[in-house]
C-alpha cells in the first residue's frame, strides 16, 4: 500500500519515522541545554574562586593564621575562628555520626512498618528541609537555657550540638539509602550460615553500606562547617581573642568571622575576609579528602 502515489512509502512507517526524528531532535536540544547550564555554572564558580584568590592570596600568611582578630586589618588574624571551627566539627562528628547511623539502622533494619515508624520517617524528611535559623532558635532554647548547667550556656558545646541536630536528618536519610542499596542476598546468606540479625548487620550489611554512609556524612559536615545563622542565634562571639580550652568556653567560627570582616567598610578587611574564605575552603577540602580516603578503603576492602 502506498501513500500519495509514492511507491514503497507506508503511512504507518512514515509517522513512526517522523516521531523518531522528533525524539532525536529533542534529545539534541536537551543535551545542548544541559551542556550550556554546566558551562555557565563552571564559569561562574571559576570566576568566584579566581576573585577570592586574587583578593585574599596577598594577606594569607602565617601571621594571619596565628593572630587573633583586631580592629586594625594589618594585625587581624583568624586563629580564634580556626580553632573554634575545629572544636565545632569534632563535636558535630562525635554526636551526629553514631546517633544518625544508629537511628537509620534501627529504622531500616529493626523497626516494624507501623504508624509510629511512618510518622518518624515523615518528620525526618521534613526536618531535612527546615531552615537553619530554626535549629539555632531550638539550640538557644534547649542547649543554652535549659541545659545551661551542662553545656555552659553560650559555649562551643552548645554550638556543636546545635549543628549536630541540623545535619542529623541528612545523615539518617543518606544512611538509609545506603543500607537499602545493599543486596538482600547478603543478609540471607548471613542468616543461612547461622548468624543472628546483629551479626549480619555489623559484619556484612554495614561494611557494604559504609561508602554510601560516608558520602552522606561528607555532605552533612560540609553543610555544617559553613553555617552562620544557628551560631549567631545561640550567641557565638564575633570578636574574641582566645581559643576554646574546654567544652564550656566561648567561641567563634570562621563563617562568623568572615561575615564580620565583610560587613566592615575598610577595603583591607575585605581582603582578609577573602583570605578567611580560602582557609575555610582548604579546611573543607581536607575534611572531604579524609572522608573520601576512608570511603575508598572500605570499597577496596569489600
Summarize pLDDT for 22-45 with one digit per residue, the tens. Answer: 777 888 888 899 999 999 999 999
Q: Please indicate, yes or no, whether the overall pTM of this predicted structure exceeds 0.75.
A: yes
- Strands (E) located in 129-200: none
Asked if residue 292 lies in contact with residue 300, where contact means CB atoms within 8 angstroms, the answer is: no
pLDDT at 2: 44
Task: Select, from the ranges 57-61, 92-96, 245-249, 265-269, the one with the highest average predicted confidence (pLDDT).
Answer: 92-96
What are the sequence ranges of the domains in the chain?
1-56, 62-301
CA distances from 234 to 31, 230, 290 (A): 46, 6, 30
Asked if residue 94 lies in contact with residue 217, where contact means CB atoms within 8 angstroms, the answer is: no
Which carries the bigger pLDDT value, residue 280 or residue 6?
280
Q: Return the CATH class of domain 62-301.
A: mainly alpha
Q: How many other CB atoms sit within 10 Å of the CB of residue 58?
A: 12
Asked if residue 236 lies in contact with residue 256, where contact means CB atoms within 8 angstroms, the answer is: yes
Asked if residue 174 lies in contact with residue 222, where contact means CB atoms within 8 angstroms, the answer is: no
62-88: string of b/e by CB count within 10 Å (b at 16+)?
A: eebeebbbeeebeebbbbbbbbbbbbb
Alpha carbon distance 104, 84 (integer Å): 29
Does the pLDDT of residue 7 top 50, yes or no? Answer: no
Alpha carbon distance 126, 12 (integer Å): 50
Alpha carbon distance 45, 15 (integer Å): 45
pLDDT at 13: 57
Closest CA to 279 of 77, 48, 28, 17: 77
Alpha carbon distance 140, 235 (integer Å): 8
Q: pLDDT exceeding 90 applies to what percent of the chain? A: 23
Q: How many other CB atoms sit within 10 Å of the CB of residue 223?
A: 14
Contacts of residue 52, defined as CB under 8 A and 6 or more positions apart, other chains included, come to 274, 277, 278
pLDDT (tens digit, 9 = 90+) per residue, 148-197? 889 888 889 999 999 999 999 999 999 999 998 888 888 888 888 888 88
Amino acid at each position: 500500500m502506498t501513500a500519495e502515489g509514492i511507491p514503497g512509502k507506508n503511512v504507518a512507517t512514515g509517522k513512526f519515522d517522523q516521531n523518531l526524528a522528533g525524539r532525536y531532535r529533542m534529545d539534541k536540544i536537551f543535551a545542548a541545554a544541559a551542556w550550556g547550564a554546566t558551562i555557565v555554572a563552571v564559569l561562574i564558580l571559576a570566576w568566584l574562586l579566581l576573585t577570592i584568590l586574587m583578593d585574599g592570596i596577598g594577606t594569607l600568611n602565617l601571621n594571619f593564621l596565628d593572630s587573633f582578630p583586631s580592629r586594625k586589618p594589618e594585625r587581624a588574624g583568624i586563629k580564634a575562628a580556626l580553632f573554634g571551627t575545629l572544636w565545632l566539627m569534632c563535636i558535630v562528628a562525635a554526636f551526629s555520626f553514631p546517633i544518625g547511623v544508629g537511628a537509620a539502622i534501627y529504622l531500616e533494619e529493626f523497626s516494624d512498618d507501623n504508624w509510629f515508624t511512618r510518622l518518624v520517617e515523615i518528620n525526618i524528611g521534613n526536618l531535612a528541609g527546615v531552615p537553619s535559623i530554626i535549629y539555632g532558635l531550638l539550640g538557644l532554647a534547649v542547649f543554652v537555657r535549659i541545659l545551661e548547667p551542662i553545656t555552659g550556656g553560650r559555649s562551643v558545646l552548645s554550638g556543636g550540638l546545635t549543628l549536630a541536630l541540623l545535619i542529623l536528618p541528612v545523615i539518617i536519610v543518606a544512611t538509609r539509602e545506603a543500607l537499602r542499596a545493599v543486596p538482600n542476598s547478603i543478609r540471607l546468606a548471613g542468616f543461612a550460615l547461622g548468624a543472628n540479625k546483629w551479626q549480619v548487620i555489623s559484619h556484612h550489611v554495614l561494611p557494604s553500606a559504609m561508602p554510601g554512609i560516608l558520602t552522606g556524612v561528607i555532605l552533612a559536615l560540609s553543610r555544617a562547617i559553613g553555617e552562620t545563622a544557628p551560631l549567631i542565634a545561640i550567641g557565638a562571639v564575633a570578636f574574641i581573642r582566645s581559643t576554646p580550652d574546654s567544652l564550656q568556653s566561648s567561641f567563634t567560627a570562621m563563617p562568623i568571622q568572615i561575615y564580620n570582616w565583610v560587613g566592615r567598610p575598610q577595603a583591607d578587611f575585605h581582603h582578609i575576609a577573602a583570605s578567611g574564605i580560602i582557609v575555610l575552603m582548604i579546611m573543607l577540602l581536607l575534611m572531604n579528602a579524609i572522608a573520601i580516603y576512608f570511603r575508598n578503603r572500605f570499597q577496596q576492602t569489600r
